[in-house]
Structure 1
């Protein structure tokens, strides 16, 4: 742990003022208000630790003052060297577009050239250090070059005063990316026409079927999509599909990925890979009685056994890659080889480095099973640009290509699911989820080390569910580095996750404006909020949303600044409204007509109790058994609050004439959730004016235990619980059809 605040020497008023100025320069807020409205001052040791995490020395007064001076000098030098910032944002509905230079070269003529993405050219002179940009630009990413007129002699040097042996040259002074953003995010035609839609949300791994290999896969997802189309759903919600860790399948959280640009290959349907039909060895192994027995065991389990699933899938996938090399890469099937080479080319350096990371991590993990990430590799291999890494890539080229092949198969199978959603006329299609950031040990943090700090984690302050706050173990992006890269990594992540999606949920959308950083090795109470270039990130989000025809939902639970919610409303980013938290001032549940239009509504989330679990107090029982309450008084308080919540929900249903006849509006605790009561809750949400309703499948099927229990790692089977019913039996079971019938009636009104 870092030293506690009382271990720090006392600072004077002047010293603290200097520290706060330095924090302000780097966007670190010295205080905040928690979810209960309590004002919290960040301890000084936390502020200093976060400055260090940004590469700024602030250990004592001398270092703080030196860092302030260095920053002022760097800003002054940068303004002279590059009078344009790396990125400038304009909104399509906010003209005129005028760009003012940060600094100028006196007594010199300057000229600008603008190249639009379309190739259209514009130019002009700089007047009074201002550039008036053409109002004909469409939204997109455009490049502006600023040139200065310089006199040079024949040798290329600036001539002596009065020399006549010279010529005029226009030298490049600065370049900047001009982002012209549409005012609002994309809205699908169904929603533009005023329809209110619904769809289920599923944890993909949780799908059971009679043919999968112990984990829900892309084939199961396609079946669910077709079923939803048949019953009038407009979308299918998913957990993040991000790449995890093949060497450690039990690292199962989709919100702590290795990379957000690539896929979790355990979701592959092995038998749907084209090579499977032509690989006799693979088919022989799969059809062997002992292998089939293993598959039956994996399917029958109530929890996903990730390690056992990987043990059956990965060896067969290796055989299929071998078949691909023997056939497609030897001119027997040139079409497929060409498709693969095109995929590699489109994936570029990012794909190559991801596959190289997988190969390196596999190599070092086999040498030492305790090697969990790249920071434990032999030192030269920690640098993706080192000669040793280049040599490793050369000598392990086939293995690197194997991991590229897996990503190719995942891309093909998810693309097929996307096409299935179109064929099934879902209206929106796949509703995917984007995690806040990445795990510190993974591919993205290795290949882009300059973008992330390794000395802090993203997290959150204390709240009702996590009384000590949270450290998510995810790496925060460095705002200044992201801006210097013209946000290219952020753009790439958005595009990767929108490619086959009709809607995208931005987890912890507040992170576009500010993110809570926790110093590494310290507790969350030493953390602070760090500001991000919200307007720039918001502009990019609206632009990519329109280009990819992708609806955007922002998860805005908890303490969210007013300016974030106002911007979401202005840019048509749907709010994320959860029934449990949708209350009036007196604690009563909001009436359906009090919910907002531009919102997605749902009964719960993966981090909260299921409807049955909430009703029975199952989550409170779990937290008690696992010692997650700080004291008995807190547990009893939350139990009493839960009893009131349940009574208030019954009253809300009764006001809407939705209370089932066999349910008393004044029941005795403990309560039991019934199928009809669960449907009544979904009907209640269906009556809201909100554009989208998402039904958690755990609620439909009466699951008592929640998907993820925050605050636990190994004490609870997070991200492993399967749904109780095989996909093939849903129609016969009738609950999904009945849900669809009732919601369709309410949503059409």
Structure 2
């Protein structure tokens, strides 16, 4: 039987200790209690002690006041959940997570009277009920709940003392491993293209790739043997500020970027002759031609073209598909996630009256609103509020700059705004509905065309501080900290990503519901999901807001619990999982990934091993693991052509981004050696193209034949997935994003140089697809 460990007593300074020594000891113990590491080892193996100021700042970000003398000792004694005396402590933790192979399980009950007259009731997710009494453990450690064997899912235990309810706890039973589709089981291997969706050119889009382009790419890729199409994060960005375009700094991870909507594919467009005439006008078509022809994605111009037309479509939809009594209704938020959790009503809302619709399509929209519940409602409210305040002041960049009365989503001011601007709020819900329909259609097409995986989506680490997710659940985030990373070769001072991390204790108190919701939102339209910076499930580097990474520290997360939930949601969604595990990753993270069937993310540039005779050489294809995704490069790294021509290094040099001249020289010299070693690796595999040679070195620049040979090299690996960046097929020299820069280079704005309609006639695509399909299909 698996037993949950009872929470031990708080670590307190030894009796008799007082003064600064006791306070320092209390601070260290408090950090241990809250999961804040006192030191870490950097990439050079140097132990770095976190300064006391940094520790205090991060504890403050967790809501623990330690700025006064004696505060650390007082906070330590109050316990991790802010409980004082033992009788105030909750008898059960808010949530426990078990593996289905670790049953039956037993949970200790912190009953102050020894557990007499204490009993429990367990409700399974399916509705089945179990009851029992809290029995004392054989080892005399106190009463426990001996749970029955449970199926994977979310269940709830409620504990009573006599007739009085004392508390409840969520019980999560997790499957042993994540979902794997048949295409990658029993030695199966697939390959696919990876694109930045916005970067797709086509002769029909409005200046950036959209969901119809994605659907067409899925058809094209499947016809040429691809098993998936990889994508950048599709999270909701900032409609009021479209130039804020990084997909890794979203407003919300639960909703979609509405600028990917294909306006002309919306059913209301086909129904509205007036809107079609507007779009067909000579002036409007001229604007679209200019947006398509632009070298870079013009997000501001695209927003100016799309949003007014979408507004016209919403007006048409309201008039035709919603009955007058039900337009922009007030309603109670419904969780819509099927979890055994208490409801989350929106204060002041009615019980869902008047949600009728005039047509079947109107009813479908109402159902989308119901299932989206409070989360969708607050997201749409946020967008309407942000738009409103930005019109008053163009410098308003999020809720942190709104008037105080509007910063609480449950405030009277917000509720009044929602009533007064009901149509505008509903407009943003309508946009999410359209985006969800179109993305869902792309995944349906992938299944119809027999793709083994389908859409391969990406989950960002966190969200923008001023965005919708933080506003909706501010107490879930450490708003006085941000995620980042410690010093490394390129950033001697470390990095601050400006993204507030979730609070581990707040996640647990909610039974991990916010984390579950994010997974579900991103898995529901995907066949595979990449978790960016997967190490964040175990530990995340926090930087005090307003401070520097030198004052940062690693904060622990409940790794095993989160892994179990990832596996459960993966199985339920039929979505396989890839963990981006680049950099210095603790062994326990990769061990946990392997145990749960989460694929490792292996990049050719970093896949080398040291030899005494030849220095650092590239791994042979056979040396890559099977439980992995392999790729030559990523959106954050040099393209193959850029790698060969030192494009990324040259840009860094021009922008003075190297910490020292010695570092610059070392990296340029290292790159030259890496290119030579890559040619040697191709030669060992018999893949060196004609005219290429490590000695004498050739070619000086990347060629299509060499790029294909590198992809064929990876195709021989036993890894279940291989992804090919579209930029590498087309010979692009610039990468999608250059880390460490913001506006110095056009990050997240570069377009691919070839229209999607021309891919099927481009030998670079068709020949590579033929070779990869043959290589990956071979036993």
TM-score by length of 2: 0.90
SS of match in other structure, 2:618: coil
Counterpart in the other structure of 1:435: 460
Q: State which drifts further: 470-479 or 628-637.
A: 628-637
Counterpart in the other structure of 2:669: 640
SS of match in other structure, 1:465: coil
Distance 1:679 1:78 in 2: 66
- Candidates 157, 166, 171, aligned match of 1:173: 166
Give the Å deviation of 1:122.
1.3
- Candidates 623, 631, 635, aligned match of 1:602: 631
Give the Å deviation of 1:448.
0.4
Counterpart in the other structure of 1:16: 24
2:680 aligned with 1:651: yes
Distance 2:119 2:254 in 1: 39
* Structure-to-structure mapping, 1:245-256, within 5 angstroms: 245-256=238-249
Distance 2:319 2:81 in 1: 60
SS of match in other structure, 1:630: coil
Counterpart in the other structure of 1:159: none
SS of match in other structure, 1:620: helix
2:560 aligned with 1:560: no
Give the Å deviation of 1:668.
4.5
Q: Deviations over 1:461-507 (max 9, x none)?
A: 12233332111110111111111011111111100000010000000
- Residues 1:471 and 1:74: Cα distance change in structure 2 (over 3 Å): closer
Q: Is the 8 A contact 2:458 2:532 kept in 1?
A: yes
Give the Å deviation of 1:526.
0.9
2:751 aligned with 1:722: yes
Counterpart in the other structure of 1:592: 621
For structure 2, the 5+ residue unaligned runs are 1-18, 137-142, 325-356
Q: State which drifts further: 124-133 or 436-445.
A: 124-133
Distance 1:458 1:107 in 2: 43
Counterpart in the other structure of 2:491: 466
Cα root mean square deviation, aligned:
1.5
Give the Å deviation of 1:15.
3.7
Distance 1:104 1:219 in 2: 61
Q: Deviations over 1:426-468 (max 9, x none)?
A: 0111000000000001000101001012111100112233332
Counterpart in the other structure of 1:92: 100
Counterpart in the other structure of 1:455: 480
2:217 aligned with 1:224: yes
Q: Is the 8 A contact 1:42 1:527 kept in 2?
A: yes
Give the Å deviation of 1:745.
1.5
- Residues 1:562 and 1:320: Cα distance change in structure 2 (over 3 Å): same
Give the Å deviation of 1:648.
0.4
Distance 1:697 1:321 in 2: 35
Q: State which drifts further: 279-288 or 414-423.
A: 279-288
2:715 aligned with 1:690: no
Q: Deviations over 1:329-348 (max 9, x none)?
A: 14895111111111100100
SS of match in other structure, 1:649: helix
* Structure-to-structure mapping, 1:420-569, within 5 angstroms: 420-569=445-594
Q: Is the 8 A contact 1:79 1:102 kept in 2?
A: no
For structure 1, the 5+ residue unaligned runs are 1-10, 150-169
Q: Is the 8 A contact 1:281 1:319 kept in 2?
A: no
Q: Is the 8 A contact 2:77 2:84 kept in 1?
A: no
Distance 2:312 2:154 in 1: 43
SS of match in other structure, 1:309: helix
Q: Is the 8 A contact 2:691 2:698 kept in 1?
A: no
Distance 2:129 2:23 in 1: 52
The count of residues paired between Structure 1 and Structure 2 equals: 718
- Residues 1:639 and 1:434: Cα distance change in structure 2 (over 3 Å): same
Q: State which drifts further: 100-109 or 84-93.
A: 100-109
Give the Å deviation of 1:60.
4.8
- Candidates 368, 371, 389, aligned match of 2:393: 368
Counterpart in the other structure of 1:164: none
* Structure-to-structure mapping, 1:177-188, within 5 angstroms: 177-188=170-181
Counterpart in the other structure of 1:5: none
Counterpart in the other structure of 2:157: 144
Give the Å deviation of 1:70.
2.9
Counterpart in the other structure of 1:154: none
Q: Is the 8 A contact 1:647 1:667 kept in 2?
A: no
Counterpart in the other structure of 1:131: 145
Give the Å deviation of 1:12.
5.2
2:623 aligned with 1:581: no
Q: Is the 8 A contact 1:80 1:104 kept in 2?
A: no
Counterpart in the other structure of 1:731: 760
Distance 1:453 1:73 in 2: 16
SS of match in other structure, 1:587: strand
Give the Å deviation of 1:13.
4.8
